[in-house]
Structure 1
Amino acid sequence: MTAIWAVGVIVVFFSSLPYGIWILGSAFKKKWRKVIILLAAPIIAGLVLWRTTLFFDTRAHAEYLVRIYDTKVELGTPLFSYESPRSFNGDGYSFVVYPLPAAICNRFLSADRRLLAEFPKCPDYRKHWTTHPWHEAPADANFSKYLDFALSRYDAESAADLTIYFRAIRKALARKQTYYAFFVYDHEEYPGNIDLFIVDILGNRLYLINHNT
């Protein structure tokens, strides 16, 4: 990644040289209005690009959440978040805990066939992954290997609070009014990548877990 950034900086530097010479030439000729315009133009263009990107990213994330929980929702501020370093190809671990949003709570309190059969909907960038739709706990035995993989013992050694939340998750998955769903990509008979979503109504928690190897 460092090499890519270095190449990017070099490209930007040399591509901006003619523009910089143009500004210096205008300043040398004391064409101050032109200098101001030339200086302001890239700043304004950058701000417009940033706002446009932010708008589309926000909208895309909102649509993604609807495709997971079958309801419009804003997640708010996490109670806890852990993110391991990621490798070049994205391998790593993330674990986020939110207070359970009212919109998700209400949707799962009235869970129906649509929610339990059609959601979550796997995003296009997970097209080779398998979708396991929402199920109410207690979790079945076939889920245990995926849960063990999602609750990474290796990462628990790096963040003590993870162990506390892992225990809370296992407790929640042993009772009703907890729902779980996941996308998974298996490496032969073993899970290799997983996105796990857990809605704990009684515990008032929403868990989001990603583990890529």
Structure 2
Amino acid sequence: MRVVIAEDSFVVRAGLVEVVTDRGHEVAAAVGDAETLLDAVAEHRPDVAIVDVRMPPTHTDEGLRAAIRIKAEHPATAILVFSQYVEARYASELLGSSAGGVGYLLKDNVSDVAAFSDALDRVGAGGTALDPEVVRQLLGATRQRERLTTLTPRERDVMVLVAQGRSNRAISQGLSITYSAVEKHIASIFMKLGLGTSDDDNRRVLAVLWFLGG
């Protein structure tokens, strides 16, 4: 297979090049940022692109967003995400963009070179290779979105103001509803999001995190 590697760490990138070439594959390019990755894929049309999630300039999700773009522009190129991080939002989009030829492995969970090579071969052949932790987090994100869909329009209005840091009284005035109605809406939101009473967790903060994350 012809392979393009995108990894900002020089040491990890060099190790990947060695692993891939030792398995008899051709490394057409090994780059350290997402823009160069896009150029390399357009030039070499690889069978597989091995992509890290966090790369320059912001080290957030450039690699994963580039992978989604590659799948859209070069559907014949398989993608193997190899990272320390799970970005559930973009991972769902990537996995949903194709029936096969996609993998997502976590660096800390790859037990040996053989396991990585097997995943590379599977993805290159049009299959999938997913780390169990990636699957777990994607399922959790799906459940989160499903719970958010149960909120009524008024509960969503309340959550927008809660996320802005408004008090119950300010929400009451802003939405022209009674204070007790605000309390009832917030209690309903907590129940729908599965946020039970806890001495250790601030349910208001957790609800905002759920809402913004979804």
Q: Point out the structure with max Rg over C-alpha.
A: 1
TM-score (norm 2): 0.26
Q: Whose relative contact order is higher, 1 or 2, with alpha carbons under 8 Å and at least 6 apart?
A: 1
TM-score (norm 1): 0.26
User: Greater strand percent: which structure?
Assistant: 1
